[in-house]
Amino acid sequence: MELFDVYSLYEIEPVKGEGSYVFTADGVRYLDLYGGHAVISIGHAHPRYVEAVSKQVAALGFYSNSVENSLQLRLADRLGKMSGYEDYRLFLCNSGAEANENAMKLASFATGRKRILAFSNAFHGRTSGAVAATDNPKIVAPFNETDNVVFVPFNNAEAAGKLLESGEFAAIIVEGIQGVAGIRVPSEEFMQSLRQKATETGTLLILDEIQSGYGRTGRFFAHQHYGIKPDIITCAKGIANGFPMGAVLIAPSIEARKGMLGTTFGGNHLACAAALAVLDVIESENLIENAASVGRYLIENLKEIPGLKDVRGKGLMIGFDVDGFGSAMRRRLLYEKHIFTGGAGESTVRLLPALGLSKDQADVFLNAIKQLVDQNA
């Protein structure tokens, strides 16, 4: 049997990780500024994480949600306190797509409405409902096509407001910062207008914080930069530092009923142990503050490099464009400079490193990219 060939692969296989580095079998070290697509929040093989996961799997790795699990309660309490959402409730699942599926389903249950408002260039996942709310025709199969999702231009509050006035929409779903679109930051006015219009029309506001949450932008959630409070928040990616996990934070105004949501693997003992270790490390090592500081340093210095366009982002969620050779630059960074980065289309480079990235490591990247830009000039 062969693998189903759906991924474009770099010809490099990391077999070991340590902090912000990964290593191949022959010992070559790579600086990881992509974090496995924003997943590695506290660094590869963090000792406290390894210890917590190892102890838990040796005790009890899994049992179903048909029994009490005190680790879930501890996680809900800790996450509520660290995020500022102590009065919200927590539903645990397995991925970002699943978190968004459950969020939209909850909104439909709560309002009795069918329609969802989403935005141009949005990415919310690849499962049926999540992909229907994703603005990328290449990954939407005929089966996923629906009239229940309507797209309007990102950052266009007026267009969104006009549609919401119909009173037909169960929810607005919007990313704290659009990640797959190339790190597109919403304006404060746009986000505040969405919150106001949602309240006025009885529509629930869902904040997809799957890439932008868990300290990545220098606040626990990206939407906290805009001074708003959503009805539902979705998380995944860095929540368990590589262990598959998703979460939905749900406002107290939304009623829970037995059986309305469910999952086999979501919130299992091993996942919760991993997630608790992540929160421990984020707090004890001040990683949110570090993401804000090092991210600001990177953005300021990237803006000084001729040839880089539209440097943007918050914290350690950064994008910039390179006319005509962003894709080539990513390959050269990897193969010549041994630095992993991400992309979005041909021109964009994305940075999504572990939250503990140091200024010295940032300087390694800045020096490498200056050299490549100079060589291309």
pLDDT(376) > 90: no
Token digits for 340? 């992993």
Three-class DSSP category at 30: strand
Percent of the chain scoring above 90 in pLDDT: 93
Element (H, E) at 344: strand 342-344
Q: What is the pLDDT of residue 326?
A: 77
- Rounded mean pLDDT, 244-253: 98
Q: How many whole angstroms separate alpha carbon 322 and alpha carbon 119?
A: 25
Three-class DSSP category at 57: helix
pLDDT tens digits for range 123-176: 999 999 999 999 999 999 999 999 999 999 999 999 999 999 999 999 999 999
pLDDT(106) > 90: yes
Q: How many whole angstroms separate alpha carbon 46 and alpha carbon 172?
A: 37
* Alpha-carbon distance values, 343 to 33, 135, 211, 229, 330 (Å): 11, 17, 14, 30, 7
Residue appearing with tokens 């539902």:
232
Average pLDDT, the chain: 96
CB 170 within 8 A of CB 115: yes
Residue type, 218: G
Task: Assign 377 a pLDDT band (cuts: 50, 70, 90).
Answer: low
CB 211 within 8 A of CB 38: yes
Q: How far is CA 357 from the centre of its chain?
A: 17
Q: What is the pLDDT of residue 157?
A: 97
CB 246 within 8 A of CB 94: yes
Task: Assign 213 a pLDDT band (cuts: 50, 70, 90).
Answer: very high
Beta bridge partners of 271: none
38 Rama sector, left if φ>0, alpha if ψ -120 to 50, beta otherwise = left
pLDDT tens digits for range 174-199: 999 999 999 999 999 999 999 999 99
Q: What is the pLDDT of residue 8?
A: 87
pTM: 0.97
DSSP state of 320: E
Q: What angle do CA 209, 97, 230 make, to 5 degrees?
A: 35
Q: What is the pLDDT of residue 197?
A: 98
The H-assigned helical ranges of the chain are 35-38, 47-59, 70-83, 96-111, 128-132, 157-164, 188-201, 269-284, 287-302, 326-335, 359-376
What is the number of residues in the chain?
377
Q: What is the pLDDT of residue 345?
A: 80
pLDDT tens digits for range 303-329: 999 989 999 999 999 999 997 677 889
Residue type, 36: G
